[in-house]
Structure 1
Amino acid sequence: MSAPLEFPPASDLATLLDVHFDDPRLLEQALIHRSWAFENGGAEPNERLEFLGDAVLALVVTDEIYHAHPTEQEGRLAKVRSAAVKTESLAEIARVLGLGRFVRLGRGEAISGGADKDSILADTLEAVIGAVYLDSGFVGAYDLVERLFAQRLLDLAERDAALDYKTSLQELTAARFDVLPRYEVQDTGPDHQKIFTARVVVDGEVVGTGTGRSKKQAEQVAAREAYRTLVARVESDGPEPVR
């Protein structure tokens, strides 16, 4: 029989987050992935806490950007919020924290690289926020989200191209060049560690490339490069068709 998997104690994560739990069991539950629950007698997984944390996170981020940008219109604020709370953004923050090593995963999920999967990291981070909300109330959850997301919100607010480069690129190419971008994506590596590489083709010309842990991420990186390339071309040469 295989030796049981070992994980750092949840208290280490509480220390890392600088959060005190009156009920440490809430944080422990927040770290239980359904694969671990299935292999360990049906323990309750973190999905309910994730559901709660998702709502708390959205409210805190909305409050932050609403007050930080009093002159911005609803559409722009919505895009900043969407970019801040999307799976990829949450996973990046979780990786900075080293959250993956705390997640209680079943053996199969652990072997397949679950501790570094965007979806698992994002869901666990939301569950942790939910646990903090239940234990410390909205003030405690607000403080945690504010600390974790402050730099991300600042970075997003200063980005160009409305934060969604695929949409912005499509609008630019349609308006300026009367064509739409086409994406070519390839992947390499084993199933649990795939790396995706995307190319953006506009009127037969490759104008951007990018890599990422998912097809969507690679396309966004490629679209960003293409958008900036074409904007620079328009500004220097005028709105001429891409050759």
Structure 2
Amino acid sequence: MNFLKNYGIKIKNEDLLKVALTHPSYTNEHGGENYERLEYLGDAVLELAVSEYLFANRDLSEGDMTSLRSRFVCEAANYEYANKIGIIPFIKLGNGQLTVNDTIGADVFEAVLGVVFLECGYEVTKKFILKVVAPYIESDYKFYTNYKSLLQEMIQTSKKSLEYVEISESGPAHDKTFTFEVRVDGIIYGRGTGHSKKEAEQEAAKDAYMKAASGKE
């Protein structure tokens, strides 16, 4: 687990770092601690560090800073950071969770920040955060959110069926437009269009997910 050493960070309490890399599905099966408490701490440190950075480097209103910060501490962003620093291969899952999805990767990134904070203090943690995050802010990076995965996770506990149905295809061969519906147990939850089937499915999933998240499904 040398991903932190690449940033000049030494963790003396290796057991604490192992906790940060342990998903609840593993502890449900084997006992012990998981990353959830550390994630809570890391989330707070991440928000503070990015808030300080934006306050010092952007002449923006409170509302604009809040909006900009949300882009760079969201789930899609945190998953990207986890990938960048090489956390993903070290995450420990149980048999009930076969893959590391965006949510897990994002949560573990925050949990690791919690460990760095406890071991090294705020200033070292902030320096680490900004080494990772600031380049994305300065390049105005647009993070990709996989709404199909988010929607799947939202409904999987209810054991309902989820399907994407192509409704229409139009336009010339070089500029096609596809329209898809997403259906849950046969009921239409969302619709989306795109210049590829993949894009249209993502837009349909986004429509359904946003409605469900706001209670308007």
Q: Offset of 1:30 from its aligned partner?
A: 0.5
Whether contact under 8 Å (1:198, 1:218) holds in the other structure is no
Q: State the SS of the aligned residue for 1:149.
A: helix
Between 147-156 and 133-142, the greater mean CA deviation after superposition: 147-156
Provide the residue aligned with 2:94 in structure 1: 106
> Which residue of 24, 41, 48 corresponds with 1:52?
41
In 2: Cα distance, 1:44 partner to 1:197 partner: 41
Residue in 2 that maps onto 1:203: none
Pair 218,136 (structure 1): closer, same or farther in 2 beyond 3 Å: farther
Give 1:121's match in structure 2, choosing from 97, 101, 105.
Answer: 105
1:67 aligns with 2:56: yes
1:17–1:75 distance in 2 versus 1, CA, 3 Å: same
Q: Which runs of 5+ in 1 are unaligned?
A: 1-10, 160-183, 188-195, 201-208, 221-243
- Aligned-partner Cα distance in 1 for 2:180–2:116: 40
Shift in alpha-carbon separation, 1:45–1:141, aligned structure 2, 3 A: same
Shift of 1:199: 2.1
Q: Which amino acid aligns with 1:57?
A: L
How many matched pairs? 163
More helix by share: 1
Query: Counterpart in 2 of 1:216?
Result: 206
Counterpart CA distance in 2 for 1:186 and 1:97 is 37
CA deviations over 1:103-146 (Å, ceiling 9, x no partner): 11002212xx2x2x111010000000000000000011111111
Deviation at 1:21, TM superposition (A): 0.8
Aligned to 2:193: 199
Structure 1 pair 217/96, CA: closer, same or farther in 2 (3 Å)? farther
Structure number with larger C-alpha Rg: 1
Corresponding residue of 1:26: 16
Q: 1:136 — aligned with what?
A: 120
2:165 paired residue number? none
Aligned-residue CA RMSD (Å): 3.0
Fraction of identical pairs, as percent:
29
